[in-house]
Structure 1
Amino acid sequence: MAYVTDGSGYADVAAHFRKLIQDGELAPGDVLPSVQQVREQFGVSAKTVSRALKVLKDEGLAASRGSLGTVVTDRPRVGPLTGAARLDRLNSTGNHYAPAETSTDHVAMLRGCADPDIADQLDLELHDEIVIRRRIFRRNGRPTVVALSCINVRALTDVPEILQDGQLKPFWQKTYTERTGLKVTRSPERRGARLASDDELTALEVDVPPNAAVPVLVLHTTFHDELGPLEVWEDVYAPGLWQVDSK
């Protein structure tokens, strides 16, 4: 595990360890370096280290464990990585999952787009056909996110595999770029909230009375190439989870 001595402030030190935790290089139960070790590695004061550790504890990423020091928590109420951050981790580490994380129920389908917002992001008319890829992310077996990939049908010409059920390896956008030579970029994530649908509550294994109003955190990330919008990711987080900035 590499550490850089650069005279960072407490926010930079916290960001460094936050990334190690989110990338899975530090797993739940792992002990963070001591205050003295962090001081030497980053060239900062003990006060700076203490402030950085407090940030991680306030975010639910770490906790004090007596003589052990500061350890990474299992973060039961902290949501998993956003789609964009997950992609960054995959590109930098080759790892699809954080510790104790899996995904299930990978399905693909061709459907008319019934969501006006997604149709607008893909520059399509409402009810135009799109490819939808759906999966459920889980931590310790419990569902945390219903993740949808809404893909412009033009991608089928070059990557027909996107209509196959099951996880695609390598990531389909990488295959698309290799076959077309077109670079894929992404827009900033948009975060909002809405009421969960019955299907989403079922997928997230949330047991509530019929027609109950259950608010959920929703993230959208839109991807483009030079031909226009290519894909929209929609991540729907289980009720009660909150998100930590991945930067």
Structure 2
Amino acid sequence: MAAHYRAEIQDGKLAPGERLPSHRQVIEKFQTSPSTINRAWHILKTEGFIRTEPGKGTYVTEQSDVAATGVARLRRIERTGQPYAPGEMATKRWVGMRSVADPKIAELLNVELHDEVVIRRRVHRRPGMPPTLDTSYIHTRALGDVPEVLDSKPFDQPWHKIYTERTGREVVRGAERRTARLVSNDELKALGVDLPQEVAAAVLVVVNVFHDEEGPLEAWEDVYPPGAWQADEE
């Protein structure tokens, strides 16, 4: 049940400030018990998605410090067929070929340091949620089958699906990796965070690697602003 209403919020079907159904309505819809509803509501409160006003009801949080991951957005596209949730937009897009300067990204893609890869970068913004800086590092071997990855236009479906349709090779996601590191000035600027230069701030970084039978195809990095949380929806 928590997963159902989490998806409703992430898909924009329940907007910030909107009241959730009453216990009676949820019981009638799911044929469940009040204790199950209370457990689901507790999970969503802990994750920062909802809040309760005594005597009034339970509402979607107006300004959450929980951000959606890129993988969560991919799942939303699969559920709804829409590239963006209501009110969501991608800004500061940049697409091009660049050499890999990060040894960890080079290792994940199984390329040499300073080899060229396709980079797709954008900042996802959505009312009531923290922004997220997303960077996709795509192996150049994908260009032969999906040259559109070098196009700045957004895809209306995950490009991995196009790759599979054209090659017959399934693309799968590996285990998610999470870490924390100091934020760079460029990342602060992209996320719209204003901090004094002498202040060192940490950011949460989530990386997912997608691969086919021949090896890694993409390393997808999400960077969250200082103070933001990321909730696992699985």
TM-score, normalization by structure 1: 0.87
1:146 and 2:108 are equivalent in the alignment = no
Instruction: Provide closer, same or farther for how the CA distance between residues 78 and 141 of structure 1 changes in structure 2, counting only shifts above 3 A.
Output: closer
Q: How far, CA to CA, are the matches of 2:129 and 2:27 in structure 1?
A: 38
Q: Give the structure 2 partner of residue 161 of structure 1.
A: 148
Letter in 1 for 2:116: E
Kindly indicate whether the alpha-carbon contact (under 8 Å) linking 1:84 and 1:189 is maintained by their aligned counterparts in 2.
no
Q: Give the structure 2 partner of residue 97 of structure 1.
A: 84
Deviations 1:136-189 (A, max 9, x none): 111239861110000001111112221122323343222222222211111121
Question: Which stretch has the larger CA shift, 34-43 or 177-186?
Answer: 34-43
Give RMSD over aligned pairs. Answer: 2.0
Q: How far, CA to CA, are the matches of 1:164 and 1:186 in structure 2?
A: 23
Classify the secondary structure of the residue corresponding to 1:223.
strand
Deviation at 1:93, TM superposition (A): 1.0
Map 1:177-216 → 2, pairs under 5 A = 177-210=164-197, 212-216=199-203
Q: Give the structure 1 partner of residue 33 of structure 2.
A: 45
Letter in 2 for 1:201: L
1:118 and 2:105 are equivalent in the alignment = yes
- Counterpart of 1:72 (choices 60, 64, 73) is 60
Q: Give the structure 2 partner of residue 24 of structure 1.
A: 12
Letter in 2 for 1:200: E
Classify the secondary structure of the residue corresponding to 2:206.
strand
Q: Give the structure 2 partner of residue 233 of structure 1.
A: 220
TM-score, normalization by structure 2: 0.92
Instruction: Provide closer, same or farther for how the CA distance between residues 142 and 205 of structure 1 changes in structure 2, counting only shifts above 3 A.
Output: farther
Q: How far, CA to CA, are the matches of 2:4 and 2:152 in structure 1?
A: 36
Letter in 2 for 1:237: Y
Deviation at 1:76, TM superposition (A): 2.8
Deviations 1:2-36 (A, max 9, x none): xxxxxxxxxxx222212222222222232222112
Structure 2 gap segments, 5+ residues each: none
1:56 and 2:44 are equivalent in the alignment = yes
Deviation at 1:204, TM superposition (A): 0.9
Deviation at 1:100, TM superposition (A): 2.9
Q: Percent identity?
A: 53
- Counterpart of 1:174 (choices 148, 151, 161) is 161
Classify the secondary structure of the residue corresponding to 2:84.
coil
Q: Give the structure 2 partner of residue 84 of structure 1.
A: 71
Kindly indicate whether the alpha-carbon contact (under 8 Å) linking 1:35 and 1:49 is maintained by their aligned counterparts in 2.
yes
Q: How far, CA to CA, are the matches of 2:72 and 2:11 in structure 1?
A: 9
Q: How far, CA to CA, are the matches of 2:171 and 2:204 in structure 1?
A: 26
Deviations 1:42-82 (A, max 9, x none): 33332332232222222221122455421212243111x21
